Amino acid sequence: MKVLLTGGGTGGHIYPALALKKRIEERYPSSKFLYIGTERGLESKIVPENGVPFKMIKVEGFKRKLNLSGILYNLNTIRLFLSSINQSKKIIKEYAPDIVIGTGGYVCAPVCYAAAKAKIPTIIHEQNSVAGVTNKFLARFVDKIAICFEEAASQFKGNESKVVYTGNPRAQEVANIKKTPILEQFELDPNKETVLIFGGSRGAQQINQTFIDSFEKLSEQPYQVLYVTGEVHHKTILNQLEKNYGESVHKESIRIVPYIQEMPKVFAAVSIVVGRSGATTLAELTSLGLPSILIPSPNVTEDHQTKNALSLVHHGAALMIRESELSVEHFVEEINTLMKDEEKRKEMANNSKKLGKQKASDELIEVINQII
């Protein structure tokens, strides 16, 4: 089977594609892959690092702010889009894939459109509870629309018959990770209750500031804290903490790191997770059955992280704090609500596990087999 993957911009679009690729290889070892992305997106770095053949096309997303510069930018974007369709047609004709799968981001638009027009079986995968503009555009052309949140189905009006609830392939990739002593790498006790707090791979300024302000209260608690700042913010936060607390910043129960490479392994070793509500993070949390406190980023399209978070909150799998409501008192209180109530954590963990799609890649592969 020859598979053409496309998707990019953020890790949330790239990692599901790579997780699916890994599972297809396990089931069909003779499969071949090609990935189409852009030079500017993270895929240009991540995909080659994972050993996947990679080709680039030039395409841009539309500006939502329609002032004069925005209009001029969008006119150029239309020109690039038309050009990128032709680029995609050439790559597709040369590669001759059996299936084309788009996992989101504007690069999917020309690739999946060109594939559908060439009568090649095409699937788009929507990770969020709010469907992206690109996937809404592609819905009428593709063969199947895979979703991760049931709430997304109603957003593909006129194409409901194409929608399949598969979940996120990233979930299946991490579902069987077991608890290990990985916390020892951070000089923490692997047998002690631990809170992991992070604001995404690049960190989040508001969460970082709240952590700084909450440091003294968190250091007084009976549990451990592992805090991930994001690489860009690490030195600034350490400097601020040392300025505020001097030598008392060096607490045995709190560790502050810039980045964690093997985040799912750390997820499996902690008691609760506090962080953003991006689609990939939630797929990992639910596949592992973890209770969480979600702080959605307000700086995303259509506030989709809040809607992602609410899907867990409504099922009793998470608590949510809006960024506008962040304060030291609220932050520490919500963490203590869970850390001091083991039964509550167990209940939320069970609810989280029920939402996890542990066979997401296999379900997507079944969809592939149906249409090729």
Which residues fall in the annotated binding site for UDP-N-acetyl-alpha-D-glucosamine?
10-12, 128, 201, 260, 305
CA–CA distance, 61 with 73 (Å, rounded to integer): 10
The amino acid at residue 11 is G
Instruction: Find where tokens 């555009």 sit.
Output: 137
Phi and psi based region of residue 292 (left: phi greater than 0; alpha: psi -120 to 50; beta: remaining): beta
Helix or strand run (H / E) with residue 198: strand 194-198
Contact 112, 122 (CB under 8 A): yes
Element (H, E) at 59: none
H helical segments located in the chain: 11-27, 43-49, 68-95, 108-117, 133-138, 169-174, 205-219, 234-245, 263-267, 279-288, 304-313, 328-339, 342-355, 360-371
42 Cβ neighbours under 8 A, 6+ residues apart: 8, 9, 10, 11, 14
Contact 335, 195 (CB under 8 A): yes
Binding site, annotated residues: 10-12, 128, 201, 260, 305
